Structure 1
Amino acid sequence: MINTEQNMHACPACGLLCDDITGDAIAKQQFSCGKAAKFYARKTVAAQPQVNGKPVTLAEAVAAAAALLGQAKAPLIAGSSTDVHGARALVRLANHSGAAMTHLNADSTLRNMKVLQHRGWQTTTLTEVRNRADVILMIGTDVVSHNARFFERVVWVDEAMFTEPGARQIIYLGGDKLKTQAGTAPDGRAPQVIDCAAEQLPQVVSALRALVMNKPVAGTAVAGVEVSTLQALADTLKTAKYATLVWVAKDLHYQHAELTIENITETVVALNQKSRAMGLSLGGSDGDTSVNYAHTWLNGVIIDAPNWQEHDAVVWVNSFSPEAMPPADVAPVIVLGAADSVFSTAPAVFIPVATPGLDTSGQQFRVDGSVTLPLTAAKPSAVATLSQVVALIEETLVNEGKPA
């Protein structure tokens, strides 16, 4: 049964956590976002726990999972597609079992974290962008591929406290085949687009940083972009009242992409010497922001990317994206996943868990890290939560002589 109460739901389909979704909209499948439509169209099937593809009781599945973890010398908790409550439970399980922990988006998250650790950065929030930004530079991304309602919710809003939303200047820099239509102003004014190949973006961003810092750039073009064009962009950023430089780490998928992110954030630092500017990292999916924050708070270190070959057992946690699975050559695999998970090969153990915001309530960090929002069960079900299943596995480990 769908929860059709008119209190608003926060949608966990992407990092924006749009909190204006009504129960009626969910019931009628009326959304302006394809990701929300796909998320709320999911149905909780009557899935049963399995061991090697054969149906078993929950107790039997928990015992099998605990046995595999107990035997493993180097287990890994991966996927980690969950909310704050689930992330805290996974950290406890990692501590109990001696497992390492990672997230399915760890590679792209690390691109940001390396810069934050090494240099620090000056970033803003969605609310500040909505109320203050007059120039928004999208670097190597169209954003809407990840956060479909960014322009609707943040940019082309009805009113803002310190700027005129309809007069904002939108500029796209770099990347191949960017979808720029969302950057068109309500009055029909098209965004400025500065083209360059995605793999050449590092050189272009480095040159832009130099120009913002009033350093000379040799030649008349950088990676096919006229230096005069980049100089004009640098001047626009310098004269803005509140420039915002936006990137999505997932879209910067080339070697040493963290250096490009560092050049973006250091451009912000340079701009703030005489004007005002901020960075904004967007994207966020499968609870990656929440999981990384919870892991960092509780362990003091960020989540790292895995070397799959170093681990002899994998706990794959997947409550938001039922189609996502670990590499095919990884075994044995214990899947604590959504009831509608799809397997090409049956895992060693499968225990269905509730999806926060769909089957059960939860809590999630927004992609800008500024707030946590409650997730309300849109279609409440009796499927066990990840925290409940993890507690059962922990109890079994303790009973078998493997205390925390």
Structure 2
Amino acid sequence: MATEGYQAAIQAPHALQPRLHGKSVALDEALDHAANRLRQSRLPLFAGLIGDLPESRALWRLADRCGATVDHAGADALSRMYSVAQMQGLITTTLGEARNRADLWLFIGDGIFRRQPRISERLLSPKQRLHTKAKSNVVVLGSGSRSNMLPNGVEYADLDSCSIADFVGSIRATLQGWELGAFAHPKTQGIAAQVKQAQYLVVAMDPADLSGSRGDGLLDLDLLGIARLIRQINESGRAALLPMGAGDGLSSCQQAGLWHNGFGLRTGHHYNGPHFDPHGHDTARMLQEGGTDLLLWHASLRPIPPPETGLPSLVFGHPGLTFVQEPELFVPLTVPGIHRTGQIHRGDGITVLPLPALFARTESDLAAGPSVYADLLTRIMEESAEC
């Protein structure tokens, strides 16, 4: 993903003017138009938000002033994880603690190894570990044939038609001493024995890989089963969950939102205070059900276009963005870590990482997202009318 992002940024135009109704305009004219649109809107939606931490902070401040609802392109997976946490709690760990303490890794799906190819080097087989010299064992629960991206020595369990929730449930039952007989997956006994012997089990997964397992209560049944397994083990041992998604600036946007209003993503800024609704404030739902009258789409890290909609759209982002349907306004921005320095949260949300500029462009080439949104906020606040 990082390689694709660098290539897209380097190959994108370096001197690109904003476009209003498909025609090139000056940046001041573009921002005047955006400010007027935001001022007139009654239910604006800020979505996408594929950017770095300074952009996220500036967007949250602007959304608060404009009464906007804020959602990230990857917030669905995060919302499902928080729903399970709200129901029964969720014990999680950090990259550093897992790297140094885990003696058994249980990966849910093999997609993490495709998206994060350095995981073996950085987490599973580091040169040094602080708390144990023993090599950690790795088990991957997948579906279909074994991927060639998996490192040597990894045990692979093909679940075939067995769901994650059912397999994890069978592990829990086996740990409690139940005899499952022919009904259990062939790998159940062996993996349950490893889980029982482990000093510190880490269950690693990307919540986005569990998108097809919702129950009637909108809870992710796979994730619910994993959370219950971890809680069961912690009654007498030690285990934790390590979410390994949070790409495209999702963690930064969530952390900035938590600091801003205490709720984070999928929060609407209303006259009587922030309103958090993890299901109702989903971008697709709001666009389909008339929950907004204006879309502001931000995507500076990668050229991801906004969803097609008949609503007025203000798009700020990657100079390589292309559209099936030209938005009302497009303002090209610098790419964090390419054209300008920036900061972004690590996937576990614990550490802020610097994004040094790969190469600097002159100020006249592309506008920087944080300054653009600060400028918009200033223009709006100069008007006497409320947003």
User: Could you state the TM-score of these two structures normalised by the residue count of structure 1?
Assistant: 0.83
Root mean square deviation, CA, Å: 2.2
Check if 1:293 corresponds to 2:293: no
After TM superposition, list the pairs within 5 Å mapping 1:231-246 onto structure 2: 231-246=189-204
After TM superposition, list the pairs within 5 Å mapping 1:130-149 onto structure 2: 130-149=99-118
1:270 to 225, 232, 249: 232
Q: Which residue of 2 aligns with 1:170?
A: 138
Match of 1:236, SS state, is helix
Q: Cα offset for 1:380?
A: 1.7
Q: Which residue of 2 aligns with 1:254?
A: 212
Partner Cα separation in structure 1 for residue 332 and residue 161 of structure 2 = 40
Q: Which residue of 2 aligns with 1:373?
A: 353
Q: Cα offset for 1:51?
A: 0.3
Partner Cα separation in structure 2 for residue 317 and residue 36 of structure 1 = 16
Q: Quickly say closer, same or farther: Cα 1:178–1:100, change in 2 above 3 A.
A: farther
Deviations 1:240-286 (A, max 9, x none): 12221111111112141622112212212221222222211102211
Deviations 1:107-147 (A, max 9, x none): 11212121222222221121222222221111123412222
Partner Cα separation in structure 1 for residue 60 and residue 145 of structure 2 = 40
Partner Cα separation in structure 2 for residue 91 and residue 177 of structure 1 = 44
Q: Which residue of 2 aligns with 1:328?
A: 308
Q: Which residue of 1 aligns with 2:367?
A: 384
Q: Output the amino acid matched with 2:311.
A: A
Q: Cα offset for 1:77?
A: 0.3
2:47 to 72, 78, 88: 78
Q: Cα offset for 1:203?
A: 1.5
Partner Cα separation in structure 1 for residue 317 and residue 367 of structure 2 = 11
- The question of whether the paired residues in 2 share the 8 Å contact of 1:308 and 1:330 is answered with no
Check if 1:206 corresponds to 2:169: yes
- The question of whether the paired residues in 1 share the 8 Å contact of 2:9 and 2:319 is answered with no
Q: Which residue of 1 aligns with 2:331?
A: 351
Match of 1:46, SS state, is coil
Q: Which residue of 1 aligns with 2:66?
A: 97
Q: Output the amino acid matched with 1:258.
A: D
2:343 to 363, 376, 391: 363
May I ask how many residue pairs the two structures share in their alignment? 361
Partner Cα separation in structure 1 for residue 86 and residue 190 of structure 2 = 32
Q: Which residue of 2 aligns with 1:183?
A: 151
Q: Cα offset for 1:198?
A: 6.9
Q: Which residue of 2 aligns with 1:27?
A: none
Match of 2:115, SS state, is coil
Match of 1:183, SS state, is coil
- The question of whether the paired residues in 2 share the 8 Å contact of 1:79 and 1:102 is answered with yes
- The question of whether the paired residues in 1 share the 8 Å contact of 2:211 and 2:220 is answered with no
Partner Cα separation in structure 2 for residue 209 and residue 389 of structure 1 = 52
Partner Cα separation in structure 2 for residue 36 and residue 335 of structure 1 = 19
> Identity rate of aligned residues, in percent?
30
Q: Output the amino acid matched with 2:224.
A: E
Q: Which residue of 2 aligns with 1:197?
A: 160
Match of 2:316, SS state, is strand
Q: Quickly say closer, same or farther: Cα 1:232–1:284, change in 2 above 3 A.
A: same
Q: Cα offset for 1:41?
A: 4.5
- The question of whether the paired residues in 2 share the 8 Å contact of 1:146 and 1:283 is answered with no
Q: Cα offset for 1:215?
A: 5.4
Partner Cα separation in structure 1 for residue 162 and residue 10 of structure 2 = 37
Deviations 1:196-240 (A, max 9, x none): 13772222122223333x053645224xx23xx313212211211
Partner Cα separation in structure 2 for residue 366 and residue 116 of structure 1 = 21
Q: Quickly say closer, same or farther: Cα 1:244–1:401, change in 2 above 3 A.
A: same
Partner Cα separation in structure 2 for residue 357 and residue 251 of structure 1 = 27
Q: Cα offset for 1:389?
A: 0.7
Match of 2:112, SS state, is coil
Q: Which residue of 2 aligns with 1:280?
A: 242
Q: Output the amino acid matched with 1:327.
A: P
Structure 1: stretches of 5+ with no match in the other structure: 1-12, 15-33, 185-189
Q: Cα offset for 1:178?
A: 5.4
Higher deviation after alignment, 137-146 or 365-374: 137-146
User: Could you state the TM-score of these two structures normalised by the residue count of structure 2?
Assistant: 0.86
Deviations 1:120-179 (A, max 9, x none): 2221121222222221111123412222211121112222223346x3211111334552
- The question of whether the paired residues in 2 share the 8 Å contact of 1:137 and 1:243 is answered with yes
Q: Quickly say closer, same or farther: Cα 1:342–1:199, change in 2 above 3 A.
A: farther
Higher deviation after alignment, 117-126 or 289-298: 117-126
Q: Which residue of 1 aligns with 2:272?
A: none
1:401 to 372, 384, 387: 384
Structure 2: stretches of 5+ with no match in the other structure: 267-281
Partner Cα separation in structure 2 for residue 379 and residue 202 of structure 1 = 47
- The question of whether the paired residues in 1 share the 8 Å contact of 2:91 and 2:230 is answered with yes
Q: Cα offset for 1:40?
A: 6.6
